[in-house]
Amino acid sequence: MSFITYLINGISLGSVYALIALGYTMVYGIAKMLNFAHGDVIMVGGFTCYTVCSTMGMHPVVGVLLSVVVCTLLGIVIERVAYKPLRMASSPLAVLITAIGVSYLLQNLALLIFGANAKSFTSVVNMKSLKLADGQITVSGVTIVTIVTCIVIMAALMFFINKTKLGQAMLAVSEDKGAAQLMGINVNATICLTFAIGSALAAIAGVLLCSAYPSLTPYTGSMPGIKAFVAAVFGGIGSVPGAFIGGILLGVIQIFSQAYISSQMADAIVFAVLIVVLLVKPTGLLGKNIQEKV
């Protein structure tokens, strides 16, 4: 029975990874860059919700909404100020290193404002846990909400990308920026929109993550961020369903290795998955192959 509990917990953690991975994969698909600061946007989302709910004592719904707004704006500002000027840079390393700088900046800003001590985050979910199989399996409210949220967002995102004009524009830009521009698509605005959506998802992921693991520090976002990137690569970077599948699988792998192998080795195992995937199938489960033209 514990197997099923682990599985459900894994899927729940995986759902958070999937939400974060969506941000990575969309940004990567469209701007061809690894947004290293994405994980820290999660942390900002967590702290915003914490400030609104715990410090100012407002309703959790307000907290969630505000953290989505803050993160969305943050994503747009980061893109405009730090990444956009480097889009045409001669070295692809330039924008990656800048992203690392932004990540550093966010962490240290949070450190100055909130200090290094962990804040205990009050869960935004007020739902009783569910007992299954004669009480042998307990599924917490947060777990259920996380999984459901992830599925809903995933479905909405697929609809947005495949059925709306803006979503189609995003696909076009990720396919060929030049051609998209010629077809009258505003490339800059589309990239900005992608960052906005990715960051909004990160805010939700942040709130859910902190609800499940209630300790909040300036570094809360960095490890889940990196793992979510692993998930994005696992599923095939640039692919939205890939991020979903990769996230869920990675969450399950992590919880299973914590449970059955060694809790200290869980991170190492997650990273080992990344290495194996990249070496065996660098394009990930659902990714596309790109070759440099000579």
Partner 1 sequence: MKKTMSKTLRSNIITIGLVVAVFVIVQILIGTGNISSLMKGLLVPLCVYAILAVSLNLTVGILGELSLGHAGFMCIGAFSSAFFSKCMKMFLPGMPAGLRFFLAILVGAAFAGLLGILIGIPVLRLKGDYLAIVTLAFGEIIKNIINILYLGVDEAGVHFSLKSSMDLHMEDSDKIIINGAMGITGTPGDSNFTIGIVLLLITLIIVLNLIHSRDGRAIMSIRDNTIAAESVGIPVTRYKLMAFSISAALAGVAGVLYAHNLSTLTATPKNFGYNMSIMILVFVVLGGMGNIRGSMIAAVVLTLLPELLRGVVSDYRMLIYAIILIVMMLFNWAPKCIEWREKTVAMIRGKLSPKSAAKEGE
Q: CA-based Rg of the chain, rounded to a whole angstrom?
A: 19
CB of 33 to partner 1, least distance (A): 7
Q: Name residues contacting partner 1, limited to 240-269 (CB under 8 A).
A: 262, 264-265, 267-268
**Is position 279 an interface residue for partner 1 (rule: CB under 8 A)?**
yes
Pattern 77-96, partner 1, x by CB under 8 A = -----x--xx-xxxxxxxxx
**Of positions 125, 185, 226, 248, contacts partner 1 by CB under 8 A:** 226
Nearer to partner 1, 133 or 294 (CB): 294
List the one residue out of 292, 191, 291, 273 whose CA is nearest residue 232.
273
Pattern 112-131, partner 1, x by CB under 8 A = x-------------------
**Is position 153 an interface residue for partner 1 (rule: CB under 8 A)?**
no
**Of positions 62, 100, 127, 155, contacts partner 1 by CB under 8 A:** 100
Q: Give alpha helix (H) positions in the chain.
A: 2-31, 38-50, 60-78, 92-114, 141-163, 165-175, 177-182, 187-212, 222-235, 240-256, 266-280
Q: What backbone torsions phi and psi does residue 88 show, to the nearest 5 degrees?
A: -100, 15
**Is position 294 an interface residue for partner 1 (rule: CB under 8 A)?**
yes
Residue 130, helix vs strand vs coil:
strand
Q: Name residues contacting partner 1, limited to 18-47 (CB under 8 A).
A: 28, 33-34
Token pair for residue 187?
A: 């490339």
- What angle (nearest 5°) sits at the alpha carbon of residue 21, between those of residues 205 and 119? 35
Token pair for residue 241?
A: 């369903």
* DSSP type of residue 118: P
C-alpha 47/C-alpha 210 separation (Å) is 9
* DSSP type of residue 260: I
**Is position 74 an interface residue for partner 1 (rule: CB under 8 A)?**
no
CB of 276 to partner 1, least distance (A): 10
The size of the interface with partner 1 (CB under 8 A), counted in residues, is 45
Residues that bind partner 1 (CB under 8 A): 28, 33-34, 82, 85-86, 88-98, 100-102, 104-105, 107-109, 111-112, 226, 229-230, 233, 262, 264-265, 267-268, 271-272, 274-275, 278-279, 282, 292, 294
